């Protein structure tokens, strides 16, 4: 007969088995929005996920507008293998979404980042297809947007929306992720990263 656990022991065990709130394991099969305006750290938080995916030998794609702020030297300085990162530049958000759907449909990518900037609008049809593909292929889809925390998310199909802000402390930064919306665990939790700034800062 198996050992019986008390309620506290069961909760402790479940907590130990649960993935970190901000980790690749926690966001697989979900459509995520990572946003901020001002002292934004969305790129830093997204690159953290890219590094985790690469450490697990998961292919990653980063899709962005031609005017995007993706800067390869800074990304490489964060420990990212640029040779193993697929970067797609597209003229508009619709083209980014179509490219993301094609990449996800291949089943080859564990993480797809859509860097949408301040022109972030995805129709419910597009969001629905992205969610379905993410769930089908156990992939994470992360949308980066530029907007303040008191504005609405991209849509009702966003499973998790987090705000990423940074505070500088000499040559380092503290990055704080704050969940504004989380359908699985509830909003309000936060996660902190400590990072060194790019050379020259």
24-45 tens-digit pLDDT: 999 999 999 999 876 578 888 9
> Is pTM, for the whole model, over 0.75?
yes
- Residue-wise pLDDT for 143-188, tens only, equals 999 888 888 889 999 999 999 888 776 667 788 889 999 999 899 8
Percent of the chain scored above 90 by pLDDT?
Answer: 56
Segment 187-196 shows an average pLDDT of 80
The CATH T-level fold of domain 22-163 is Rossmann fold (3.40.50)
Calculate the CA 6 to chain-centre distance. Answer: 36
> Residue 70: which of 62, 58, 81 has the closest Cα?
62
Q: Which residues contact 15 (CB under 8 A, 6 or more apart)?
A: none
Q: What's the pLDDT at 101?
A: 98
User: What single DSSP character describes residue 82?
Assistant: G
Residue that wins the pLDDT comparison between 152 and 99: 99
Asked if residue 34 lies in contact with residue 144, where contact means CB atoms within 8 angstroms, the answer is: yes
């Amino acid at each position: 007969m198996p050992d019986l656990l008390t309620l506290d022991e069961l909760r402790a065990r479940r907590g130990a088995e649960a993935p970190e709130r901000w980790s690749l394991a926690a966001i697989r099969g979900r459509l995520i929005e990572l946003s901020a305006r001002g002292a934004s750290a969305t790129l830093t938080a997204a690159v953290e996920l890219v590094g985790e995916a690469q450490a697990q030998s998961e292919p990653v794609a980063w899709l962005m507008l031609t005017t995007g702020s993706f800067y390869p030297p800074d990304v490489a300085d964060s420990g990212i293998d640029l040779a193993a990162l697929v970067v797609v530049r597209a003229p508009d958000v619709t083209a980014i979404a179509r490219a993301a759907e094609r990449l996800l449909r291949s089943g080859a990518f564990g993480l797809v980042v859509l860097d949408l900037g301040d022109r972030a609008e995805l129709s419910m049809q597009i969001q629905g297809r992205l969610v379905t593909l993410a769930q089908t292929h156990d992939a994470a889809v992360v949308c980066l947007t530029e907007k303040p925390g008191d504005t609405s998310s991209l849509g009702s199909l966003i499973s998790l929306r987090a705000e990423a802000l940074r505070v500088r402390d000499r040559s380092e930064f503290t990055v704080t992720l704050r969940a504004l919306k989380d359908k699985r665990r509830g909003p309000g939790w936060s996660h902190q990263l400590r990072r060194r700034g790019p050379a020259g800062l």
